């Protein structure tokens, strides 16, 4: 059954329109967004579709095309953690749009999620941004019409995720889903919200970006993501800075030496651990700048080296990688990838590998074989290109 027929059958009315928002892969700049840093994501071709109609009351009815599960809630009942589960991403956006002062009523909504779930590819941001696009379209808010409107909607969707779905994420995913453009990566400055489009047309240079979904567990509401964020905030507070973005990379060694003294005896983890977290964030922000420059110069070997350095930093200093991500990256590198790294929050999810076209097949085969030999679930591997943001 197609989306429209499913909508009519369940809600007993015709949809007024359809909207879509993509998932993302971040090329580089991981765990930097909530530190006021830089990130460089692309939007994926995989999108989540929202088909919707206004209601005369303030009720939200939402159905998943995949599971046919239906959740209903009055707008006034939406609160932190309520509703629970996937519907919180939808209800959270209705709540946050209203909290931002927009006058919107209820809606019937069908969500058809085509971004792989739990793969670190921002399926939740895609649901939020598709819902936000639907609300904007249905109620004439015009938020998709201008860059400023898209930025405002990204902030709304992030609030939904932080305050209703209770995931303490940093906003990169919503910005990517709403502001990315096709054949470009989005250079996102999370200190002031500014963006720049960086050309990313690797096919012209005979390259492919492979996304390797390791199928290892990934959930941002688990405690580890929040723990990393708390360590960074603790370090910034100890240094008397508003965020780790303000650490001068040229003085990094001296700052880290000071930090050990400033943190001594205080907090949940030893100062040496916090020092490594900070080193990751500060060096990663520099790598994003270097990567944007290398991409502009079409220096793909340089980009690959930065990918590999980013992965090592996430694995050793920030400690958010896992066996599956490390295996995928090392096998891809051994088979001729220019660079490979985990992408997204980590603890499972996906890796990316930048590979010459001629070795894309061998890399896929070798990674699949290595996973089988290690007794791991088979990964799902696809080639990605930079697709447009929500519409």
Shortest Å, Cβ 1 to ligand GAF: 32
Integer Cα distance of 163 and 32 in angstroms: 20
Shortest Å, Cβ 220 to ligand GAF: 6
Q: Which is nearer to ligand GAF, 152 or 175 (CB)?
A: 175
Stretch that binds ligand GAF, among 28-36, 62-70, 237-245, 290-298 (CB under 6 A): 28-36
Q: Which is nearer to ligand GAF, 98 or 150 (CB)?
A: 150
Shortest Å, Cβ 118 to ligand GAF: 12
N- to C-terminal Cα separation, the chain: 23
Shortest Å, Cβ 231 to ligand GAF: 13
Cα 230-234-238 angle, rounded to 5 deg = 175
In the list 30, 128, 317, 324, the residue contacting ligand GAF (rule: CB under 6 A) is 30
Residues 313-372 binding ligand GAF (CB under 6 A) are 344-345
Q: At what angle do helices 147-159 and 172-179 cross, to 10 degrees?
A: 150
In the list 21, 25, 27, 31, the residue contacting ligand GAF (rule: CB under 6 A) is 31
Shortest Å, Cβ 81 to ligand GAF: 18
CA 165 from chain centre, in angstroms, equals 15
Stretch that binds ligand GAF, among 44-52, 65-73, 167-175, 268-276 (CB under 6 A): 167-175
Residues 35-94 binding ligand GAF (CB under 6 A) are none
Shortest Å, Cβ 26 to ligand GAF: 6
Point out the residues that are catalytic.
173
In the list 108, 112, 173, 213, the residue contacting ligand GAF (rule: CB under 6 A) is 173
CA 37 from chain centre, in angstroms, equals 15
Stretch that binds ligand GAF, among 4-12, 27-35, 143-151, 374-382 (CB under 6 A): 27-35
Beta strands in the chain (DSSP E): 17-26, 38-39, 41-54, 59-64, 70-74, 107-113, 184-189, 195-199, 207-213, 339-342, 350-356, 380-384
Between strands 59-64 and 107-113, the pairing is parallel
Contact between 220 and ligand GAF by CB under 6 A: the answer reads: yes
Contact between 116 and ligand GAF by CB under 6 A: the answer reads: no
Integer Cα distance of 376 and 136 in angstroms: 43
SS3 86: coil
SS3 222: coil
Contact between 33 and ligand GAF by CB under 6 A: the answer reads: yes
Q: Which is nearer to ligand GAF, 281 or 359 (CB)?
A: 281
> What b/e sequence results for 203-224 when a residue is b if at least 16 CB atoms lie within 10 Å of its CB, and e otherwise?
eeeebbbbbbbbbbebebeeee
Q: Which is nearer to ligand GAF, 63 or 351 (CB)?
A: 351
The answer to whether 34 and 285 have CB atoms below 8 angstroms apart is no
DSSP state of 109: E
Stretch that binds ligand GAF, among 8-16, 31-39, 54-62, 130-138 (CB under 6 A): 31-39
Alpha-carbon torsion (142, 144, 150, 154), positive or negative: positive
The answer to whether 120 and 350 have CB atoms below 8 angstroms apart is yes
Residue 379 has phi, psi (to 5 degrees) of: -75, 160
The answer to whether 112 and 66 have CB atoms below 8 angstroms apart is yes
Q: 205 Cβ partners below 8 Å, 6+ apart?
A: 298, 300
Stretch that binds ligand GAF, among 23-31, 210-218, 322-330, 377-385 (CB under 6 A): 23-31
Q: Which is nearer to ligand GAF, 36 or 344 (CB)?
A: 344
Integer Cα distance of 54 and 257 in angstroms: 58
Cα 379-344-119 angle, rounded to 5 deg = 35
Structure tokens at 338: 């220019």
Contact between 150 and ligand GAF by CB under 6 A: the answer reads: no
By rule CB under 6 A, what count of residues binds ligand GAF? 13
Contact between 169 and ligand GAF by CB under 6 A: the answer reads: yes
Stretch that binds ligand GAF, among 13-21, 26-34, 131-139, 249-257 (CB under 6 A): 26-34
Q: Which is nearer to ligand GAF, 36 or 271 (CB)?
A: 36
194 bridge partner residues: none
Any idea which residue has 């709403």 for tokens?
Answer: 178
Shortest Å, Cβ 121 to ligand GAF: 9
| Chain contacts with ligand GAF (rule: CB under 6 A) | 26, 30-31, 33-34, 169-173, 220, 344-345
């Amino acid at each position: 059954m197609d989306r429209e027929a499913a909508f009519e059958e369940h809600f007993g009315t015709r949809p007024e329109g359809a909207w879509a928002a993509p998932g993302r892969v971040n090329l580089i700049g991981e765990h930097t967004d909530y530190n006021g840093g830089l990130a460089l994501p692309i939007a994926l071709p995989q999108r989540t579709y929202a088909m919707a109609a206004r209601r005369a009351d303030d009720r939200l009815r939402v159905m998943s095309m995949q599971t046919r599960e239906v959740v209903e809630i009055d707008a006034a009942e939406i609160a932190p953690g309520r509703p629970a589960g996937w519907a919180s991403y939808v209800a959270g956006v209705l709540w946050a749009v209203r909290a931002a002062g927009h006058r919107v009523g209820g809606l019937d909504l069908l969500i058809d999620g085509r971004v792989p779930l739990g793969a670190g590819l921002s399926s939740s941001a895609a649901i939020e941004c598709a819902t936000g696009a639907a609300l904007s379209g249905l109620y004439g808010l015009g938020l998709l019409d201008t860059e400023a409107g898209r930025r405002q909607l990204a902030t709304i969707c992030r609030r939904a995720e932080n305050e209703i779905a209770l995931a303490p994420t940093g906003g990169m995913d919503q910005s990517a889903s709403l502001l990315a453009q096709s054949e470009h990566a989005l250079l996102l400055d999370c200190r002031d919200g500014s963006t720049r489009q960086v050309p990313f047309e690797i096919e012209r240079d005979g390259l492919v970006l492979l996304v390797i979904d390791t199928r290892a567990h990934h959930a941002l509401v688990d405690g580890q993501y929040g723990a990393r964020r708390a360590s960074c905030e603790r370090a910034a507070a100890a240094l008397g800075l508003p965020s780790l973005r303000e650490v001068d990379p040229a003085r990094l060694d001296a700052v880290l030496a000071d930090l050990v003294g400033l943190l001594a005896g205080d907090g949940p983890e030893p100062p040496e651990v916090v020092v490594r977290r900070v080193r990751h964030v500060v060096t990663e922000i520099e790598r994003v700048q270097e990567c944007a420059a290398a991409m502009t110069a079409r220096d793909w070997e340089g980009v690959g080296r930065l990918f590999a350095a980013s992965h090592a930093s996430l694995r050793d200093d920030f400690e958010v990688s896992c066996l599956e991500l490390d295996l995928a990256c090392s096998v891809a590198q051994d088979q001729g990838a220019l660079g490979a790294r985990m992408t997204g929050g980590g603890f499972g999810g996906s890796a990316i590998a930048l590979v010459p076209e001629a070795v894309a097949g061998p890399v896929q085969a070798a990674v699949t074989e290595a996973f089988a030999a290690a007794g791991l679930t088979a990964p799902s591997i696809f080639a990605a290109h930079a697709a447009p943001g929500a519409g």
